Amino acid sequence: MQLRGKSFLLATTAVFALGTAAPAVADGDALADLQRQILLLQSQIDELKAGGNNDCCDNKIKFKAFPEISNGDWSAKVRGRLMLDWATVDGDAAVLPGEDDYIENAIEARRARLGVEGKMPMNTAYKFEVSYDPAGESIEVEDAYLQWKTPAGKLTAGQQKIPVSLEEQTSSRHTTFMERAAFTDAFGYQRAVGLSINPNGDNWSVKAGVYGENLTEEYVNEGYTLAARGTFAPINEDGRVIHLGASVAHSDIEESSGEFRARQRPQVHQEQRYIDTWDIAADSVLNYGAELAGVFGPFSAQAEYAKLELDTPTGTDPEFEGYYIDLSWFLTGESRRYKGSSGKFDRVTPNAMVGDGGFGAWQIALRYDVVDLTDFDPILATPGSGGEQESIIAGVNWHLNKYVKLMANYAHTEIEDSDRNFDITGQTDNEIDSFQLRAQVDW
């Protein structure tokens, strides 16, 4: 734009000179002088085209779904995501009068986020993102941190994800199913304010830190969490990956609320929870898990196991567990993209995008998912019937391009030995079927 502007100015000057010199054209000296001026202007235009004087601006702009501006040590990119969901749910057990019925035709903004990330001088990166809940008319802070590269790895201070679970570390933009594995929500995985260190290599990563509470929580005396996760990919190539991982987290909750609660929905965020332990008086929580995943061209497999142990004042010390295994296949030949330096899955790029003469990337997937909370009775506060949830989920994903995705999920969920389901339906067991659609865009 700068070059064209100067060229246009010089060319205009030449035309103006020709116009003003018209009365003197008959004079040979004037004509020769005008010709010399035109040749001089032409040489200046040629110099500008070669870039000789086009160094006035250092700003650089890159387009990755949204402009990213950089200038030396500074950069900024607006980031965001919007996920619109529709769902319908039906259950075998009839809902009792006075209780909320199964949703029939519901739409929600599952996630609506906006933020900014970039870098600044002193080897500093930053990220700040908020989410908006239209139904609750509330705004919550998601990520909010500063980050520095050090010889020991990336040092991150602020609100961030606690390092547990492959499903949890993989962004919701890139998960295979509309909802993450049931245990991640049931066990309360979330972001928290803390300080972490993250040494890594091309095919391995370690992240460890100490954390307080989420910014939405308000306690006079907060508890703390010590957490660490390690991953290793003995095979890490495009279209060919073996992922191994493990994590552990210990939380002291005595100083904050003194209570812990585990509960879960039947694979639909709009639906109510049918397994629930209610509040459990607890001093601490120990959470640990193992991860295994593989990518073999268009085929992918992923599995996790997680266990949660409570230390309670009464000595009952219940234990809960969750696990899943899923399989997926890209009918159009793409592969899931893996980041070995952080041990998580990333954005899929279709081989032929819609709008560029292609049909996008089509993926089919199947998951078996279990979360078991039966080791605690919410009524008697003894081992009993918090409930068990077992689901089979089938999904179809259509990646129109790198940033737009449509998803469809069908889930069959069985609830067993649940006091909460008894409160809702008058039965401890239930079978629930759901169907969901999602339209998603991110940048």
pLDDT band at 48; cut points 50, 70, 90: low
> Is the per-residue pLDDT at 421 higher than 70?
yes
Return the minimum-mean-pLDDT range out of 252-266, 341-355, 356-370: 252-266
CA distances from 319 to 212, 307, 378 (A): 23, 7, 14
Question: The pTM is what?
Answer: 0.84
For residues 410 and 392, the answer to whether their CB atoms sit within 8 Å is: no
3: number of Cβ within 10 Å = 14
Whole-number pLDDT of residue 45: 58
Whole-number pLDDT of residue 223: 87
54: number of Cβ within 10 Å = 13
- Which residue bears the tokens 């040092």? 155
> Is the per-residue pLDDT at 430 higher than 90?
yes
Exposure string of 169-197, with b = 16+ CB inside 10 Å and e = fewer, is: bbebbebbbbbbbbbbbbbbbbbbbbebe
pLDDT band at 18; cut points 50, 70, 90: very low
Whole-number pLDDT of residue 303: 98
355: number of Cβ within 10 Å = 10
Structure confidence by residue, pLDDT tens digits, 92-146: 999 999 999 999 999 999 999 999 999 999 999 999 999 998 877 889 999 999 9
User: Phi then psi for 9, rounded to 5 degrees?
Assistant: -65, -45
Whole-number pLDDT of residue 26: 42
Q: What percent of the chain has pLDDT over 70?
A: 84
